[in-house]
Amino acid sequence: MKDTEDKIKEFVKRVEDRTNDVLDDSLMDDDANSENINVDYTDIVKNSAKAKISKLPWLIAIFLIFIIAIILGFMFFSNNPKTLFTQTVDGLFAYLEENVNDNVYDITDGNISLDSNIKSTDENSELYNNLSKVSFSADYVKDSASDKNYIDLKTTYDGDDFVSAKVYGDGDNTYIYSPIVSDNYFRLSSNKLSYFTDGNDIKIILKGVNQAIDKVIADEKVYGSKENLDVDGEVIRSYRTKFVIDKNNRNRVLETFINTLKANDEFVSVLANMKMVKNSDIRKSLDNYMSKLEDKLKLCNKLEISLYINDKTNEFIKAEALSELGNISFDRKEENKFIYTISNKNDGTLSNGEFVFNVNDNKTKYTYNLYYKQTKNNKVLFESNIDLKYTSKKADNFADVDVSNSVDIDKVGGLEKLAIYTKIMATPNLSQFLPIIKEII
């Protein structure tokens, strides 16, 4: 037994001796050994813990510097003129998209009503005066699955029943019927009702234009400055972001904008469906449109587009476009109220007006009011006030219309047209709109 205890003690001693040798070799450098510092295992453990603790303030400092750098970077980009310009544009398009009814149902119905008050000093003043006495109301049904549409139009003149008409699109042709003209439907030469734009299509168009503008801004210089704006007698501190189009970047801006639209397959497809043409036709039209825009921008020489936002809240206040052709300003007065001013330097006219719209929470009822006035040398040339109401909701069915006895309007002969004109002239007040009717038939 004693022999066993002696062997255990000898083993422990050998382990301790070897541990001290290893510590001497691996944990002590030459300088430390030369200074003859006594180090044991316990001291090494304690010193390692202190070393770790001593590094903690540095780690905290590095972490804080990292956080501060992120915050400063965020502040830089959020206050960068280009970022603010893009955010303001995106916000305006988002505002429009949020107020679009995107409830896509197979069948929808609703009503559209229109009232107007138009005054003019040109040769069409009498026509506008009579048109202001007419109120329009149309009940409609739309079958998106089969591209069928039906509109029942009724009008009043000075409050009395006036003209009624029915318009029917079966997906292939468009037909019009009015009892004051004929007992049969007329089939139009072009099918204008085969495609009826819905909310989803409008959103695709808005997003496409928004993306194209963002792409342009990403490649261009945007300037920023703080300015005081007088808004209804109240001075508001604003931040102005300015984007300039001139001879130096005109072609690049146009190519980026148009090519971005052309590359957007959804955008092109929606426009093609609306115009009943091929996608390739839309892309060709966009190329042609680029040439027209280029000519217009050359006339502008230099176009400055400025967006003003509240410096505290970042809310949109005003948009402005300045050029040698004239100036355009667009101000937001209330949540759904905007005013605009357009000055034309070529003819010296000044146009201004107001636009107000409201939509219910379900986006099934919209009301619009547009006021427009054009003056020259303080003389009113044209003035109009238009009220439009629009409703849309889900419907249960679509009733087909019997158009088997319809007449092709292109095949209507001279005598038949004379008979139609005779009926129109015999209808009280309808002869006043003969110039418009001739354009239709």
SS (HEC) of 200-261:
HHHHHHHHHHHHHHHHHHHCCCEEEEEEEEEECCEEEEEEEEEEEECCCCHHHHHHHHHHHH
Taking the CA atoms of the chain, what radius of gyration do you get in angstroms? 38
Is a pLDDT exceeding 60 seen at residue 321? yes
Confidence of residue 150 (pLDDT cuts 50, 70, 90): very high
Is residue 79 classed as helix, strand or coil in its secondary structure?
coil
- The pTM score is 0.73
Model pLDDT, residue 190: 63
What gap in Å lies between CA 231 and CA 336, rounded to an integer? 16
Tens of pLDDT along 379-414? 999 999 999 999 988 898 899 999 888 888 878 777
pLDDT above 80: residue 271: yes
Q: Is 171 helix (H, G, I), strand (E, B) or coil?
A: coil
Query: H or E element: which one contains 108?
Result: strand 107-120
| pLDDT category of residue 353 using cuts at 50, 70 and 90 | very high
Separation of alpha carbons 178 and 157, rounded Å: 16
Please tell me the distance from the alpha carbon of residue 46 to that of residue 56, in angstroms, as a whole number: 16
Q: What is the rounded distance in angstroms from the CA atom of residue 261 to the CA atom of residue 208?
A: 6
For the segment 43-68, the average pLDDT, to the nearest whole number, is 51
Confidence band for 191, pLDDT divided at 50, 70 and 90: low
| Contact of 313 with 265, CB cutoff 8 Å | no
Task: Please state, in angstroms and rounded to a whole number, the distance separating the CA atoms of residues 218 and 248.
Answer: 16
The pLDDT assigned to 111 comes to 95
Question: What is d(CA 92, CA 251) in angstroms, rounded to the nearest whole number?
Answer: 26
- As a whole number of angstroms, the distance between CA 336 and CA 90 comes to 17
If residue 373 lies in a helix (H) or strand (E), which one and from where to where?
Answer: strand 365-376
Give the residue with greater pLDDT, 370 vs 12.
370
Size (the chain), residues = 441
* pLDDT tens profile 249-267: 999 999 999 999 999 999 9
**Interatomic CA distance for residues 305 and 327, integer angstroms:** 10
Q: What share of the chain is helix, strand, coil (3-state, %, to 5)?
A: 40, 35, 25
> Tell me: the pLDDT tens digits for 155-164?
999 888 888 9
Provide the CA 48 distance to its chain's centre, in angstroms. Answer: 62
pLDDT value at 114 more than 90: yes
pLDDT at 173: 85
Residue type at 59? L
